[in-house]
């Protein structure tokens, strides 16, 4: 694992770059405090910490912050508020309701629109570092599938750093996600989480 | 009391050693710890000689009141504050003329390297608390804040390192202590510098200086900032290396 700091020289020669890298006078430098990743000829720096910035088609877990005549203002755990247009908003939603929705538009001035709401009742919402969400999902959703199987919980992962868990073994699932958040940068995570869950299940 | 030249030399630098035993181009002991405040998005603690400084970063977050928002980039807000017990005489808590000035120059020193355009309409709050002060607290504050901003995942083009150089008893010295700063002919020159790009983001001066000393002072300041920058990078790398070895 190669940790880089902001402004650190990555390459003096021309390289194909992805996120987290900038060039100055033909040399390439890191833009973040993060992990250097080289895959398929592309070099990127994945930041270790940061806030959630919405992208189109992200599934997010939202809290209702305000109910308007023609829609709902939602807190999406980002510096920006989101808006969802709905019919009968005052009948369907109340303050502090929790729902999952999809981002249908996020422009450069960060006007965020949501749609396809699914109201979530019961269960708990936990916070998770937004930049580590891909680790919580795993390759082809392997991690979240495994946690669902071993705990028997219903789980919805929001890309905005919120995870909704419902089921009898909520605490077990919570512990698993805490472990992922702490060890997201260390390889071999899925196996370690599986072991820990199986040990807990036996107890 | 005006000291004779011989007495001054004897007092502040004797046989190449200063009052606290350091060489003229040596920094005080610097320890940097990253991620010390759980509630903050990024944080750092710097112990620089007798200076003890905490820096915490919150954000990017919604910028309120809304008229302070910038639709094109994030707004950086920096607050430098000294604890009432940080110096030998109690200081009045809250804003003072000095803290407002230091907050402003430190903000400008850090703003240069941040890529604020990535977060339009937001605010980034930086709080720097001086728990114990012994000269050079603004340099320690900028050093800590830069590390805390990196820890918070804010995109940057480089880390800002700061240190003070000066003159006491006719000698050009790096990183002055309070005792050296109180010399009758003292010059204090805090500098913030980005080692990666070679840019100066802060140069202040207190005292009277001759033109011939300027180049030597700046050269020494760059050397000091590069040493500080190395410590900042090591501290950031250490945070995650420790966990891997566990």
Q: How many Cβ atoms sit within 10 Å of the Cβ of residue A171?
A: 13
A181 touches chain B (CB under 8 A): no
Task: Quote the ipTM score.
Answer: 0.89
pLDDT at position B43 is 97
> Considering its fold, how many domains does chain B have in total?
1
Chain A residues 78-137 with CB within 8 Å of chain B: 79-81, 108-110, 131
For the residues B208-219, what does the mean pLDDT come to? 92
pLDDT digits (tens, 9 = 90+) for A101-154: 999 999 888 899 999 999 999 999 999 999 999 989 998 999 999 999 999 999
Q: Is the pLDDT of residue B244 over 50?
A: no
> What long-range pairs does B24-30 form, CB within 8 A, spacing at least 24?
B24/B171, B24/B172, B24/B173, B24/B174, B25/B173, B25/B174, B25/B220, B25/B223, B25/B224, B26/B174, B26/B175, B27/B163, B27/B174, B27/B175, B27/B224, B27/B227, B27/B228, B28/B175, B28/B177, B30/B228, B30/B231
User: Could you list the residue range(s) of the whole structural domain that residue A112 is in?
Assistant: 59-120
Contact criterion met (CB < 8 Å) for A29 and B62: no
Q: Which residues contact B219 (CB under 8 A, 6 or more apart)?
A: none
B241 touches chain A (CB under 8 A): yes
A192 touches chain B (CB under 8 A): no
Secondary structure of B11-56 in HEC code, one letter for each residue: HHEECCEECCCCCCCCCCCEEEEECCCCCCCEEEEEEECCEEEEEE
B17 touches chain A (CB under 8 A): no
pLDDT at position A127 is 93
* Residue of chain B minimizing CA distance to A33: B150
Verify that A115 and A128 share a domain, yes or no: no
pLDDT digits (tens, 9 = 90+) for A60-110: 999 999 999 999 999 999 999 999 999 989 999 999 999 999 999 998 888
Which of A197-201, B101-105, B209-213 shows the lowest mean pLDDT across its residues? A197-201
User: Based on the number of CB atoms within 10 Å of its own CB, is A60 exposed (0-12), middle (13-18) or buried (19 or more)?
Assistant: buried
Q: State the smallest CA–CA distance between residue A89 and chain B in angstroms.
A: 25
- Chain B residues whose CB is inside 8 A of the A31 CB are 115, 155-157
Contact criterion met (CB < 8 Å) for A7 and B42: no
CATH, residue A114: 2.40.50.140
CATH, residue A32: 2.40.50.100
User: Could you list the residue range(s) of the whole structural domain that residue B29 is in?
Assistant: 5-245
CATH, residue A141: 3.30.1370.10
Residue A53: inside a domain, yes or no? no
Nearest to A6 among B62, B121, B150 (CB): B150
- Chain A residues whose CB is inside 8 A of the B197 CB are 7, 24
Verify that A129 and A153 share a domain, yes or no: yes
Verify that A77 and A18 share a domain, yes or no: no
A2 touches chain B (CB under 8 A): no
> Considering its fold, how many domains does chain A have in total?
3
- Chain B residues whose CB is inside 8 A of the A192 CB are none
Nearest to A7 among B151, B154, B156 (CB): B156
Q: Is the pLDDT of residue A181 over 80?
A: yes
pLDDT at position A110 is 86
- Chain A residues whose CB is inside 8 A of the B121 CB are 79-80, 109-110
pLDDT at position B5 is 55
CATH, residue B103: 3.30.230.70
Boundary-marking domain end, from A120, A150, A168: A120
pLDDT at position A41 is 87
A23 touches chain B (CB under 8 A): no
Instruction: Give start and end residues of each alpha helix (H) in chain B.
Output: 5-12, 97-111, 137-151, 178-181, 211-245
pLDDT at position B245 is 40
pLDDT at position B243 is 56
Nearest to A79 among B60, B158, B233 (CB): B60
Verify that A129 and A116 share a domain, yes or no: no
């Amino acid at each position: 694992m190669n940790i880089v700091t902001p402004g650190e020289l990555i390459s003096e020669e021309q390289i194909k770059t992805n996120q987290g890298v900038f060039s100055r006078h033909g040399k390439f430098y890191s833009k973040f405090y993060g992990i250097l990743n080289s895959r398929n000829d592309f070099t990127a720096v994945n930041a270790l910490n940061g806030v959630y910035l919405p992208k189109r088609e992200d599934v997010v877990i939202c809290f209702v912050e305000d109910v308007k005549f023609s829609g709902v203002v939602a807190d999406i755990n980002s510096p920006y508020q989101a808006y969802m247009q709905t019919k009968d908003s005052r009948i369907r939603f109340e303050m502090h309701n929790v729902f999952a929705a999809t981002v249908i538009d996020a422009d450069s001035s960060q006007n965020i629109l949501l749609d396809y709401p699914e109201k979530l009742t019961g269960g708990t919402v936990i916070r998770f570092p937004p930049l580590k969400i891909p680790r919580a999902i795993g390759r082809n959703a392997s991690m979240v599938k495994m946690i669902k199987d071993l705990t028997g919980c219903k789980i919805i992962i929001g890309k905005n750093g919120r995870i909704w868990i419902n089921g009898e073994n909520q605490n077990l699932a919570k512990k698993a996600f805490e472990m992922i958040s702490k060890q997201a940068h260390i390889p071999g995570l899925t196996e370690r989480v599986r072991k820990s869950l199986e040990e807990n299940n036996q107890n | 009391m005006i000291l004779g030249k011989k007495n001054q030399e004897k007092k502040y630098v004797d046989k190449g050693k200063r009052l606290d035993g350091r060489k003229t181009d040596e920094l005080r002991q610097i320890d940097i710890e990253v991620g010390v405040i759980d509630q903050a998005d990024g944080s750092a603690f710097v112990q620089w000689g007798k200076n003890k400084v905490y820096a915490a970063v919150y954000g990017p977050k919604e910028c309120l009141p809304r008229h302070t928002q910038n639709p094109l980039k994030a707004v950086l807000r920096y607050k430098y504050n000294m604890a009432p017990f940080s110096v030998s005489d109690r200081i009045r808590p809250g804003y003072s003329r000095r803290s407002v000035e230091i907050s402003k120059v430190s903000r400008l020193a850090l703003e240069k390297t941040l890529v604020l355009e990535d977060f339009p309409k937001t605010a980034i709050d930086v709080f720097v608390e001086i728990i114990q002060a012994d000269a050079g607290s603004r340099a320690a504050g900028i050093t800590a804040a830069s590390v805390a901003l990196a820890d918070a995942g804010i995109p940057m083009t480089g880390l800002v390192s700061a240190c003070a150089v000066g003159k006491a008893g006719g000698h050009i010295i790096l990183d002055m202590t309070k005792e050296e700063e109180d010399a009758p002919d003292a010059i204090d020159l805090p500098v913030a510098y980005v080692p990666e790009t070679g840019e100066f983001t802060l140069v202040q001066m207190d005292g009277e200086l001759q033109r011939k000393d300027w180049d030597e002072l700046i050269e020494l300041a760059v050397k000091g900032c590069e040493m500080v920058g190395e410590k900042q990078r090591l501290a950031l790398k250490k945070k995650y290396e420790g966990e891997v070895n566990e």
